[in-house]
Amino acid sequence: MARRETALQTAHGRLRGLIGSEFRSGDKLPNERDLADRLEVSRATVREVLGQLVAEGVVTRTWGIGTFVHDSAERVPVSIGDVTALRDRITASGHRPTLQDAAVSRAKCPADCAKLLGLEPDSTVWRVDRLFAVDGVAAAWIRDHLPLRFDGRDLDPSGLVSIDLDMFEFLASATGMPVRRAEIELTAVLADEESTARLGVAAGHPLITGTQIGYGTDDAALFHGHITVRTDVLTLRISRGGDPSPAR
């Protein structure tokens, strides 16, 4: 029994060392067979050690998907129940938001948003790509589309490449119409090639993606976007209360 415990402790230490030297937070580990070969132990031993590491919070295991290195940093809770800038939600949680990457370009309007924005299929729209980081760690990738003009006004979203300007602030200033309501539909997904490149996670890493629509006065759609979130960095929280005060 003592020999078995020693073998488990040795395998435990070697696997923790392997994780610390060769893998980053969010990376997917090799399968049990490969780990057993590298550590020169049985698959049963690897399975038992991985169970210990799950209990210790070093890794997370998802049935049918794999084992991932857990992010030891504190997850940042952000509310999605109100119309507030993501930047401000992160700041309110006591953390530092930054833009790791941002770009504004003209592009063809995707089919799922052309009708919503009242545009012809394949119309040219503004596309705004922003990669938000929390305390230096990539956390959310947002791609928004908005019309070139709204209610006779030309829109110029180039200022959105700065963390100092948020989409809600920009639209209120540029259109004279604040975003009164935002709808978001969330789906659990696994990281694809583009998500891995943007967010720095391994292929197959669990993520949350959402489609967001911002509405102004009289339910006029102002923008249509997609957000992809690393839930090992951010947690999404929905708060529901009683009768809200009327918008002013």
C-alpha R_g of the chain? 22
Give the pLDDT of residue 126. Answer: 97
Task: Examine residue 243 and state whether it is found in any structural domain, yes or no.
Answer: no
pLDDT per residue as tens digits for the range 224-234: 999 999 888 88
- Find out whether 36 and 44 touch, Cβ atoms under 8 Å: no
Lay out the sheet containing 221-229: strands in order across.
97-108, 124-134, 137-147, 221-229, 206-215, 181-190
Say whether both 13 and 50 belong to one domain.
yes
The span from the CA of 133 to the CA of 91, in Å, is 12
Domain boundaries, position 42: 2-69
Residues of the chain with pLDDT under 50: 1-2, 240-248
Instruction: Using a cut of 0.85, tell me whether the model's pTM lies above it.
Output: no
Helical H segments across 23-69, by residue range: 32-39, 43-55
Give the pLDDT of residue 177. Answer: 84
pLDDT per residue as tens digits for the range 197-207: 899 888 888 89
Task: Examine residue 244 and state whether it is found in any structural domain, yes or no.
Answer: no
Give the pLDDT of residue 129. Answer: 96
Beta strands 149-150 and 137-147 are unpaired
Whole-number percent of the chain with pLDDT over 90: 30
Say whether both 105 and 12 belong to one domain.
no
Say whether both 135 and 43 belong to one domain.
no
Give the pLDDT of residue 218. Answer: 81
Task: Examine residue 149 and state whether it is found in any structural domain, yes or no.
Answer: yes
Say whether both 60 and 101 belong to one domain.
no
Give the pLDDT of residue 1. Answer: 44
